[in-house]
Amino acid sequence: MGPPVDPVPAGDSQPKSADVVIVGGGIIGVSAALFLARKGISVVVCEKGHVAGEQSSRNWGWCRRMGRDPRELPLIVEALKMWGGIEELVGEDVGFRRTGILYLCQDESDVEHHAEWVRRAGDYALDSKMIEGRALADLMPGAQKTFRAALHTPSDGRAEPQKAAPAIARAAQRAGARILLRCAVREIETEAGRVSGVVTENGPIRASTVVVAGGAWSSHLCRSVGIRLPQLAVRSSVMRTGPVEGGPDGAAWTEGFAYRKRLDGGYTIADGTISYHHVNPDSFRYFTDFLPILSREWRSIGLRFGDFLGGPFGLSPRLEGEGSVYERHRTLDPEPAVAPLEAARANMEKVFPVLKGVPTLQRWAGFIDATPDAVPVISPVKSLPGLVIATGFSGHGFGIGPAAGRLTADIVTGDTPLVAPTAFRYERFIDGTRHRPTTGV
């Protein structure tokens, strides 16, 4: 089971038509809905389960500029400004705190790797810098191990994933958006070569624009209208502890463990290095697209076999007599990888003995929606007018989420975009562009 998520009022009824239908009530879908509704657009979000039931409540909660692919830097800078004013935007505290984030270096090659990011980020590096000695020790109260150095960004922070997307969704509702829960979109409809609406499990909704913000499901949905979107699902696991007295207040990653302090006083802990891909038909369909990233990242991806056709992404989206695969899997809830989580906790305990005896309250996992270059698609689709894709956030869409939603809304309405959207264009995956992932963690 995933962590308990703040509720969003159900009860919005399904309209016959809207200007825009958004498929997916994760942080991207509900943020796009908020900004569209604030522009006076009639917008409906269809969520097959509950808001933030999948990745958007299961993530670490890091809101970071540090370590980002240069293509994402302008958008994450805007996102962090938005997080700074999130309470005003949504009318409640969702736990955003600028507690800083550390990438801890164990040796010289780590130092060189992170220092290289600072050089590459140029002006976008802002307050990110390499620190060591006393400056680093002060940020790790109670640490029993000295790290060689760290990349530190004091202005990065964290928010509570179980609160943020639901609060944005409620704000979107207040602004006029309709959010339909337990409402799977079975198909996107087209007419005369353009999008004309969707068919949900409760019937059709006509709309001239459909935004696909379906997380790990987006590729399946796009395929049903002949759009090839290379995307693979990667399972990543997390645990949370009970409250801890003392210990560091911020977040950190190093080989062997990653942590961040939660608003409830506990820690969210993860291994942060290893994730798993469950081999399914998409693995072969998109093999060549992912070859460059796989050849670089193969040590951090474990392959799992079995259930080739029976897993969530193995089936054809339509199920005879049972509606669709989206109803069968209302909320993706993969098994967490317990051994790597326990090892991560043990590694963290060695550094912070204050964790000893603190109970582990829960473990869970989520499926990340990875693209071949680890950069999202936030883009119209030239070959199918009316279709807009906002997906493929590749394990770092929570922090960038509010700004990605705003950019999606700008693209839908044709307003001046929050940032230049060129780097996120869909066509890079079909026009022969070579994919060069450049992100670190």
Ligand X SMILES: Cc1cc2nc3c(=O)[nH]c(=O)nc-3n(C[C@H](O)[C@H](O)[C@H](O)COP(=O)(O)OP(=O)(O)OC[C@H]3O[C@@H](n4cnc5c(N)ncnc54)[C@H](O)[C@@H]3O)c2cc1C
Q: Which spans of this chain sit near ligand X (rule: CB under 6 A)?
A: 23-29, 46-49, 53-56, 58-62, 184-185, 213-217, 221, 236, 238, 326, 366, 368, 391, 393, 395-399
In the bound complex, what is the minimum distance in angstroms from residue 185's beta carbon to ligand X? 4
DSSP character string of 257-325: EEEEE-TTS-EEEE--S-EEEE--HHHHHTHHHHHHHHHHHGGGEEEE-S-TTTSTTTS-SEETTTEEH
In the bound complex, what is the minimum distance in angstroms from residue 391's beta carbon to ligand X? 6
Q: Crossing angle for the helix pair 73-84 and 397-413, nearest 10 degrees?
A: 100
Ramachandran area for residue 247 (φ above 0: left; ψ -120 to 50: alpha; else beta) = left
In the bound complex, what is the minimum distance in angstroms from residue 188's beta carbon to ligand X? 9
Across the chain, how many H-helices and E-strands are there?
Answer: 13, 23
In the bound complex, what is the minimum distance in angstroms from residue 26's beta carbon to ligand X? 2
Element (H, E) at 379: strand 377-380
Cβ neighbours of 15 (radius 10 Å):
14
Of 150 and 221, which CB lies nearer to ligand X in the complex structure?
Answer: 221
Of 34 and 109, which CB lies nearer to ligand X in the complex structure?
Answer: 34
- Residue facing ligand X at closest CB distance: 26
In the bound complex, what is the minimum distance in angstroms from residue 281's beta carbon to ligand X? 17
* Contact between residue 33 and residue 22 where contact means Cβ atoms under 8 Å apart: yes
CA–CA separation, 344 vs 338, rounded Å? 10
In the bound complex, what is the minimum distance in angstroms from residue 169's beta carbon to ligand X? 11
Of 386 and 402, which CB lies nearer to ligand X in the complex structure?
Answer: 402
Return all residues near 425 (Cβ < 8 A) that are at least 6 apart: 377, 379
Of 29 and 197, which CB lies nearer to ligand X in the complex structure?
Answer: 29
Chain-centre distance for alpha carbon 131: 28
Of 49 and 256, which CB lies nearer to ligand X in the complex structure?
Answer: 49
For β-strands 377-380 and 178-180, DSSP reports them as: unpaired
Of 25 and 247, which CB lies nearer to ligand X in the complex structure?
Answer: 25
Which residues is 368 bridged to in the sheet?
234
Of 276 and 326, which CB lies nearer to ligand X in the complex structure?
Answer: 326
In the bound complex, what is the minimum distance in angstroms from residue 369's beta carbon to ligand X? 6
In the bound complex, what is the minimum distance in angstroms from residue 144's beta carbon to ligand X? 25
Look-up: residue for tokens 């505290």? 93
Of 153 and 236, which CB lies nearer to ligand X in the complex structure?
Answer: 236
State phi, psi for 352 to the nearest 5 degrees.
Answer: -120, 85
